[in-house]
C-alpha cells in the first residue's frame, strides 16, 4: 500500500459503458477511486443487453472522451474485443488481445496503462493464461471475477480475486460493516467489482449512493485505484 494505513478500499468496473459517467459522479462526490477496465476496439459502439428479463443499454464511451471522463480514476485493459481468454487456444491471440489493448488505452489515457481485468463471466482465466500474461504482456495485475468475501491482500496479482460483486448488495453492506469495524494489525483490502449498467436492471442507484456514503471518509482507510492500493 502507498501509505501506513492498513485498510484500503478500491473498486474495479468493466466494459467502459456510458453508465460509468453516472457512477463516477457518485464516486467523486465521496472521494472514492475506481479502476475502469476498457475494451479499446469496442469504444464508441452502441449496444444493449438483456439481464434478468430487463433490457439495459450497453453503449460504450466514445474513445475521444475517455481521458476526460475517467480523469482522477484509473484506466486498465479488458482486452480489445472481450473474448473469454480461457477459451482461446492461440497464445499469440491471447497476447494480442491484452498487449494491443494496453497500448491503445495508454495512448487514449495519456499514461502507461498498468493492469487489466479478465473479460467474461464464469471461468474467465486459467493458470496457463495468467502465466502467459505474467511473462509476456507487461500487465502488473489481472482481476478475476471470483469473490473471496474476505479482505486478505492477493497472493498473486495475476489472479487477483475481488472481495465481492457490488450488485450483491446484502453481502456488500455486511462486508462493509465488518471491514469498518475491524482493527487492522495487518493489511486489509476491500475490493469491489462490477459493471455500472447492472444498476439499471432494478434501478439500484440509490443503493450505490448509500454504500458509497457508508464506506467513504474514514480516517483509517486508504481510498485508491487498483494500482494505488496494490502496487
192: β partners: 11, 164
Q: Do the Cβ atoms of 227 and 80 come closer than 8 Å?
A: no
CB 166 within 8 A of CB 194: yes
Question: Which residue(s) pair with 99 in the sheet?
Answer: none
**61 and 16 in contact (C-beta within 8 Å)?**
yes
CA-nearest of 202, 196, 222, 228 to 5 is 222
User: What distance separates the 2 farthest-apart alpha carbons in the chain?
Assistant: 48
Q: Are 160 and 144 in contact (CB under 8 A)?
A: yes
Cα–Cα distance between 124 and 116 in angstroms, integer?
13
Q: Side-chain half-sphere of 207: how many Cα atoms within 13 Å? A: 16
> All domains of the chain, ordered by start, with CATH?
7-230 (3.20.20.370)
What's residue 35's pLDDT? Answer: 99
CA pair distance 216, 127, nearest whole angstrom: 35
* Cell numbers standing for residue 150: 474476505
What is the reported pTM?
A: 0.97
- The three grid cell numbers given for residue 156, joined into one nine-digit string: 498473486
Q: According to the model, what pLDDT value does residue 98 have?
A: 98
Q: What is the pLDDT along the chain (231 residues), one digit of tens a residue?
A: 545 799 999 999 999 999 999 999 999 999 999 999 999 999 999 999 999 999 999 999 999 999 999 999 999 999 999 999 999 999 999 999 999 999 999 999 999 999 999 999 889 999 999 999 999 999 999 999 999 999 999 999 999 999 999 999 999 999 999 999 999 999 999 999 999 999 999 999 999 999 999 999 999 999 999 999 999
Reported as half-sphere exposure (CB side, CA atoms, 13 A), residue 35 has a value of: 29
The answer to whether 78 touches 119, Cβ cutoff 8 Å, is yes
- Report pLDDT for 3: 55
Amino acid at each position: 500500500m502507498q501509505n501506513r494505513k492498513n485498510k484500503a478500499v478500491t473498486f474495479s468496473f468493466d466494459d467502459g459503458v456510458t453508465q460509468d459517467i453516472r457512477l463516477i459522479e457518485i464516486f467523486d462526490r465521496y472521494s472514492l477511486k475506481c479502476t475502469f477496465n476498457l475494451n479499446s476496439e469496442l469504444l464508441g459502439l452502441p449496444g444493449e443487453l438483456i439481464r434478468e428479463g430487463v433490457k439495459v443499454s450497453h453503449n460504450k464511451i466514445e474513445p475521444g472522451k475517455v481521458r476526460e471522463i475517467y480523469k482522477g480514476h484509473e484506466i486498465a485493459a479488458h482486452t480489445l474485443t472481450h473474448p473469454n481468454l480461457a477459451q482461446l487456444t492461440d497464445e499469440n491471440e491471447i497476447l494480442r488481445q491484452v498487449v494491443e489493448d494496453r497500448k491503445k488505452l495508454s495512448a487514449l489515457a495519456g499514461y502507461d496503462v498498468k493492469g487489466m481485468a479478465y473479460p467474461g463471466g464464469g471461468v474467465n482465466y486459467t493458470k496457463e493464461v495468467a502465466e502467459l500474461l505474467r511473462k509476456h504482456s507487461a500487465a502488473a495485475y489481472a482481476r478475476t471475477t471470483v469473490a473471496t468475501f474476505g479482505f486478505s491482500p492477493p497472493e498473486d496479482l495475476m489472479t487477483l480475486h475481488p472481495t465481492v460483486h457490488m450488485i450483491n448488495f446484502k453481502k456488500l453492506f455486511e462486508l462493509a460493516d465488518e471491514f469498518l469495524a475491524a482493527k487492522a494489525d495487518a493489511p486489509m483490502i476491500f475490493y469491489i467489482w462490477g459493471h455500472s449498467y447492472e444498476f439499471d436492471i432494478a434501478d439500484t442507484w440509490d443503493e450505490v449512493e448509500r454504500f458509497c456514503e457508508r464506506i467513504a471518509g474514514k480516517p483509517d482507510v486508504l481510498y485508491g485505484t487498483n494500482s494505488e492500493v496494490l502496487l
